[in-house]
Amino acid sequence: MIDVQHLTKHYGQVAALNDISFSIQKGEIVAFLGPNGAGKTTTMRLLTGFMPPTSGSVHIAGFDCLEEPWEVKKHIGYLPETPPLYLELTVTEYLTFVGRIKRLGPEQLHERMKLIINQTGLTEVQSRVIGHLSRGYRQRVGLAQALIHNPPVLILDEPTTGLDPNQIIEIRDLIKSLAGSHTIILSTHLLAEATAICQKVIIIHKGHIVAIDTPEQLGTKLRQSAILNLTVKQADPGLLDALGKISGVIDVSQGLTANTYIIETHIGKDVREELINLVVTQGAGLLELSTQAVSLEDVFKMLTRSNKPTE
């Protein structure tokens, strides 16, 4: 549904994007993740035809963004970081205006308005002036304008920026509800947002794509060792040293409390049985033994510090 090949964008001598390529399948929600200044917004603007690339190609729903820009615009809904709202209009006036720009007929516009206002939770404020709405409701209006013509592709640039925690949850739930019926690329620098909404993550850093995969698979690829969390009933000063002598254990450290331990082991070496036997033998009392997953935050830190792409 979205196909990007060797996309490059220069601003003078500065390369904002450097030969990036990726594809997104129909119905997927994908996070375009990176630190501020990584090239996220530039990519969104190139995908929407807001500006041309220096080189490379973008195809949306089979149409070339440079050669068939009007066809591309028919197939996308775009929510920029700052929603393009007319604050003096009511919600229904604004959506009517946008629908007419999108060339919806009177009957089609009427039906889409009813559906979208309900879908985006704007029913109670549809007659209010947009300038009098909260930031959260304005964001909903921005999403409604992107959806009004029922595009197969949604391009959302930092859709929860500036919202309070409750508003963020509402917008995330709304975006998740669109999965399957729409292909969505979501630009964000918020790791929690990528984890909560998206099935796949594209990480960009300094204009280069450094990883593309699910959050879980990224963690597996980058993991150099496995981490186990051990909790025992009774703290034992000698247990720390004993755990470190088990074959396959790289390092053992004390956890947040005296009866918890963080155990680093070699990948592929399962030491759980030996750990359990040791704890039982020493009479420490096993309460919990669990594997610590590599978080998306860990992956993000590794990739945006090293510049090294994953295979």
CA distances from 85 to 72, 90, 91, 294, 308 (A): 22, 10, 9, 40, 40
In a domain, 306, yes or no: no
Q: Which helix (H) or strand (E) holds 225?
A: strand 225-232
**Model pTM?**
0.74
Clarify whether residues 83 and 188 are in a common domain.
yes
Residue 186 contacts by C-beta under 8 Å, 6 or more apart in sequence?
29, 30, 31, 32, 156, 159, 175, 193, 194, 197, 198
Q: What is the pLDDT at residue 309?
A: 46
C-alpha 1/C-alpha 8 separation (Å) is: 20
Q: What is the pLDDT at residue 224?
A: 64
Q: What is the pLDDT at residue 184?
A: 95
In a domain, 66, yes or no: yes
Residue 237, domain extent: 224-293
Instruction: Name the nearest CA neighbour of 288 among 246, 310, 255.
Output: 255
Here the CATH number for the domain that contains residue 161 is: 3.40.50.300
Low-confidence ranges of the chain (pLDDT < 50): 308-311
Q: What is the pLDDT at residue 304?
A: 78
In a domain, 13, yes or no: yes
Clarify whether residues 146 and 228 are in a common domain.
no
- Is the distance from CB of 46 to CB of 58 less than 8 angstroms? yes
Clarify whether residues 278 and 170 are in a common domain.
no
In a domain, 303, yes or no: no
Clarify whether residues 257 and 130 are in a common domain.
no
- The C-alpha angle 185, 188, 191, rounded to 5 degrees, equals 115
Clarify whether residues 24 and 159 are in a common domain.
yes
In a domain, 302, yes or no: no
C-alpha 75/C-alpha 147 separation (Å) is: 10
Q: What is the pLDDT at residue 59?
A: 96
Q: What is the pLDDT at residue 297?
A: 73
Clarify whether residues 81 and 194 are in a common domain.
yes
DSSP characters for 49-111?
TSS--SEEEEEETTEETTT-HHHHHHTEEEE-SS----TTSBHHHHHHHHHHHTT--HHHHHH
C-alpha 310/C-alpha 141 separation (Å) is: 38
Q: What is the pLDDT at residue 180?
A: 84
